[in-house]
Amino acid sequence: MKKVLAIVLILYAHALAQQNVIPKDTSFNTKLTAVKIAKDFPNAKVVEAIVPENITVSYDVVYASHTGRKLHIDIFSPKPVGKKPLPFVMIIHGGGWRSGDKSMEWPTAIHLAKNGYITATVEYRLSTEAKYPAAIHDLKEAIRWIRRNAKKLNVDPNKIAVSGCSAGGELAAFLGTTGNLKKFEGDGAYKNISSAVQAVIDVDGVVDFANPAESGKDIDPAKPSAGKSWFGAAFNENPKIWEEASPTKYVSDKTPPILFINSSLDRYHAGRDEMIAKLNKLNIYSEVHTIPKTPHPFWLFHPWFDEAMTYMVNFLDKIFKTK
């Protein structure tokens, strides 16, 4: 009887453990990407995440919890800590909304922190775990969490930027254009705190899912696009949800300045020019820099990293540090 009970308890514990397993797609990571681009870009070198002595890092700080699922953020702060609060930049990793990891953006976080910004790389739920719009809800909650803890973190709550690469760039643009739209705030904490940001950096992230470069990719049902995996339906099955997730749809006079940094691959420019036209009509500042002869994930590698960082720092300084 005791043996039977022990077996039952073991099986029960195993079942509980299985319930807490988070499905993870590791297909997009820096090392594997380096191998993939090596043939066409033999001079590409991975940017290492080396933390200098004048930067303090707090890893895996919990910013949200959903039914036991904790979400984490890594915070990079310049030291010594001064009396004046600093601008903040939240950095969102890419990976087609289904892969990638916040650690991939540590080099960017370190570089911006060295230039006087408090930065953070953020974890969010991917499509293997939760479909659209869960990632958006998570990231807006992260912004609200930062504002709630602004004094403790020495962050200026009126100078918050969001940056992202590839899928992260789309998410960054979406956060920028939707501000405090209740529809996209989710059920997370700190609902009385604003999720609006004051600047956006979109690195090779599409901003219009209805553009044929994105919506026309689901040809083989056996190989669903990243968009279909995130939305749960191909464009021709549910065009409304694809259009709803397009940042360019929400451009308004409340949209903050935006910096676009792009590879030379046109498909990642989807909706960019149309969005800039809308921004221009509203007299909202924007910049565009297309780096020639680059792979899509150029920001992860030398020789393109330094150029991308120069564009970022100059843009952020113009928005937050120029009187």
Q: In the prediction, which pLDDT does 88 show? A: 99
pLDDT tens figures, 35-55? 999 999 999 999 999 999 999
Could you list the beta-strand ranges (E) of 12-54. Answer: 45-46
Q: Can you list the residues of the chain whose pLDDT is less than 70? A: 1-20, 216, 323
pLDDT tens figures, 155-197? 999 999 999 999 999 999 999 999 989 999 999 999 999 999 9
Q: In the prediction, which pLDDT does 175 show? A: 99
Q: What are phi and psi of 265, to 5 degrees?
A: -90, 115
Sketch the domain layout of the chain as residue ranges. Answer: 30-208+223-320
Residue with tokens 């915070």: 75
Instruction: Tell me how far apart the alpha carbons of residues 112 and 199 are, in angstroms, rounded to a whole number.
Output: 14
Residue with tokens 């940017």: 47
CB 215 within 8 A of CB 209: yes
Instruction: Tell me how far apart the alpha carbons of residues 41 and 201 are, in angstroms, rounded to a whole number.
Output: 25
| Amino acid type, 314 | N
CB 88 within 8 A of CB 155: yes
pTM for this entry: 0.92
Strand pairing class (55-66; 69-78): antiparallel
Taking the CB of residue 288, how many other CB atoms lie within 10 A of it? Answer: 15
Instruction: To the nearest 10°, report the CA torsion of 124, 125, 128, 134.
Output: -130
Q: What are phi and psi of 181, to 5 degrees?
A: -60, 115
CB 263 within 8 A of CB 269: no
Instruction: Tell me how far apart the alpha carbons of residues 20 and 12 are, in angstroms, rounded to a whole number.
Output: 13
Residue with tokens 């590698």: 301
Measuring CA to CA, which residue among 184, 239, 233 is closest to residue 210?
239
**CATH number of the 30-208+223-320 domain:** 3.40.50.1820
Q: In the prediction, which pLDDT does 323 show? A: 60
Instruction: Tell me how far apart the alpha carbons of residues 89 and 102 are, in angstroms, rounded to a whole number.
Output: 14
Instruction: Tell me how far apart the alpha carbons of residues 36 and 300 are, in angstroms, rounded to a whole number.
Output: 13
Instruction: Tell me how far apart the alpha carbons of residues 153 and 140 are, in angstroms, rounded to a whole number.
Output: 18
Instruction: Tell me how far apart the alpha carbons of residues 66 and 118 are, in angstroms, rounded to a whole number.
Output: 26
